[in-house]
Amino acid sequence: MGEGRLSNQLRTLRFLAGEMTQAELGAKIGVTRQTIAAIEQGKYSPTLEAAFRIASVLGKRLDEVFQWEG
Amino acid sequence: MAWREKTAWITLVAMVLTYGAYFTLVSGVPLSTLTMLELFGAVTVFQVIAVVIVTAVLAALSSDEALAKPDERDRAVARRGASIAYFVLMAGVITVGVVMPFRDAGWRLTNAALFALVLAETVRYLTVVVSYRRGWHG
């Protein structure tokens, strides 16, 4: 498997979505505030389902929220 | 800190302190079977009570966090801890059940089995807290 990592624009997109808090986003997709924080910090890669839920809540395409840096 | 990370820390610290004290005592001074049994019972009861009390106090302070179901990250971290601890437990079972009976018996075997269990559980909780701290991309 090649080297690389998943990055994201969650923090910016939350801000643009009416300054949505981590807790609010977490509640909408069914994860804890700490898990949203871990995703933002690159400490946890969400499942595909959670990634799609996040993009849907933020009204963005998946690749606008998450990017693969290889 | 995630609620399940807090509870993992509590259990890990309680286990290391209580069972660490137990295994230090039984390995240093020759004790009778009854004394060992009483000591192990006391250590286990103390550990369970300490974990329950500290967890209850934290749950009261953290309100709804303690009631939330584990999310996908909690479940992924728990699976990682269990899968790594499984190999530790298997090594312990092979050592205690296959190797040690050739030269040991009685309470040495029992304590070795208990040590294998405690070590596997310690590795499980250690993996959980490290996964929460340093991240997990499984």
pLDDT band (50, 70, 90) for residue A2: low
Contact B135 A31 (CB under 8 A): no
- Return the pLDDT at B138: 66
Task: Kindly state whether residue A65 falls inside one of the protein's structural domains.
Answer: no
pLDDT band (50, 70, 90) for residue A25: very high
Mean pLDDT score, B48-70: 87
Mutate to test the interface with A, among B7, B62, B72 (most CBs of A within 10 A): B72
Residues of B in contact with A45 (CB under 8 A): 137
Task: Kindly state whether residue A36 falls inside one of the protein's structural domains.
Answer: yes
The whole-angstrom separation of Cα B50 and Cα B44 is 10
Q: 3-class DSSP state for residue A21?
A: coil
Task: Kindly state whether residue A3 falls inside one of the protein's structural domains.
Answer: no
- CB pairs under 8 A, 24+ apart, for A30-36? A30/B71, A31/B71, A31/B72, A31/B73, A32/B2, A32/B3, A32/B65, A32/B68, A32/B71, A32/B73, A32/B74, A34/B1, A34/B2, A34/B5, A34/B73, A35/B2, A35/B71, A35/B72, A35/B73, A35/B74, A36/A10
Task: Kindly state whether residue A68 falls inside one of the protein's structural domains.
Answer: no
Residue identified by tokens 């990250």 is B73
B1 has a pLDDT exceeding 90? no
Mean pLDDT score, A25-43: 94
Give me the numbers of helices (H) and strands (E) for chain A, helices first please. 5, 2
The whole-angstrom separation of Cα A13 and Cα A64 is 9
Residues of B in contact with A30 (CB under 8 A): 71
- Return the pLDDT at B8: 95
- What total number of domains does chain A contain? 1
Task: Kindly state whether residue A64 falls inside one of the protein's structural domains.
Answer: no
| CATH number of the structural domain spanning residue A50 | 1.10.260.40
Computed over every residue of chain B, the mean pLDDT equals: 91
ipTM entry: 0.89
Q: Name the strand (E) or helix (H) holding B7.
A: helix B3-28
Dump pLDDT digits (tens) for B13-40. Answer: 999 999 999 999 888 787 888 888 889 8
Dump pLDDT digits (tens) for B82-137. Answer: 999 999 999 999 999 999 999 988 888 989 999 999 999 999 999 999 999 988 76
**Residue A52, domain extent:** 10-59
